[in-house]
Amino acid sequence: MEKLFEIDQISFGYKSKRVIEGLSLTLAAGVFYGIIGPNGCGKTTLLDLMINHHQPAAGRIRYKGKTLAGYSKKALSREIALVPQNFYINFPFTAKEVVMMGRYPHIKRFAAPSTRDIRFVHDIMEQTDTLAFENRFITQLSSGERQRVIFARALAQDSPVLILDEATSNLDINHALGMLKLAAQGVEDETKTVIAVMQDINLAAAFCDHLIFVQHGNVVANGPVDKILNSEILRDVFQVDSKIYFEPYSDSMQVVFRK
């Protein structure tokens, strides 16, 4: 399989606090990755390093064989799209305008969107079930609706890599499943690689091919879901007792926790 990200011994910290410490990880193309770990373990920081929003203090990250620093911001924005967690927008853009911003990396600075861009945005909004409020202001949507618009915006970027940072945490189960299905569809069609930070381990087990457990700013376990997900690792990482079994109904491994 083609190597997509090669993360080599990176460290990063804010001021005095080290967040990532000598982390190494290799990610292949065409896989649905789930990143799992307790709050504050450095998952979001890891994502920020992978989209080159922050630069590692030591070590380096290669994307498609070239260091991230070697990509222009614009070139990288055509490669990697990010769906952030909880955010808000202060200005009354319409939902459609926000989704169209996902096309900006493909549109020249002073050019108007082409009919193809407009068509693309329309199709994406149809798939993400956001068409119903395309002309409403983003400032007046509920947090779940807003999250779906932002997801649509990331899909409109039409990038080979899609990064979800707890993107389903604001959504009802119907729309959470819908969002993850769309992401998984992209992986199945071999057009996308998905890297998702998730809190819900059952959703992660159902949709991800591969799980990466992060603790104290480092990867502690990493492998295909059926091989890596067990009660020992959950006890190590989260200090909880759990039972793990194969559930035919969802056709995936599932976890139940002791109260």
By CB under 8 A, name the binding residues for another protein: 14-15, 48, 51-54, 73-74, 76-78, 80-82, 84, 87, 89-94, 97-98, 101-102, 104-105, 109, 131-137, 140, 150, 153, 157, 163
Q: Which is nearer to another protein, 159 or 252 (CB)?
A: 159
CB of 205 to another protein, least distance (A): 27
State the DSSP H helix or E strand holding residue 117, giving kind and residue range, or none if neither: helix 115-127
CB of 174 to another protein, least distance (A): 19
Q: Which is nearer to another protein, 62 or 78 (CB)?
A: 78
Q: Who's near 24: CB < 8 A, 6+ residues apart?
A: 7, 8, 9, 10, 59, 219
Q: Which is nearer to another protein, 31 or 131 (CB)?
A: 131
- Give the integer Cα–Cα distance in Å for 68 and 114: 30
Expressed in percent and rounded to 5, the helix, strand and coil fractions of the chain are 35, 30, 35
CB of 73 to another protein, least distance (A): 5
CB of 255 to another protein, least distance (A): 30
Q: Which is nearer to another protein, 85 or 215 (CB)?
A: 85
Q: Which is nearer to another protein, 51 or 225 (CB)?
A: 51
Backbone angles phi, psi at 62, to 5 degrees: -110, 140
- Give the integer Cα–Cα distance in Å for 131 and 249: 31
Backbone angles phi, psi at 255, to 5 degrees: -125, 135
Nearest alpha carbon to residue 126 among 92, 101, 95, 105? 95
CB of 25 to another protein, least distance (A): 19
CB of 68 to another protein, least distance (A): 12
Give the pairing type, strands 32-36 and 58-63: unpaired
Tokens 């729309």 -> residue:
175
Three-state DSSP class for 210?
Answer: strand
Which residues, in sequence order, are bridge partners of residue 162? 81, 194
Rg (C-alpha) for the chain, rounded Å, is 19
Q: Which is nearer to another protein, 92 or 224 (CB)?
A: 92
CB of 75 to another protein, least distance (A): 8
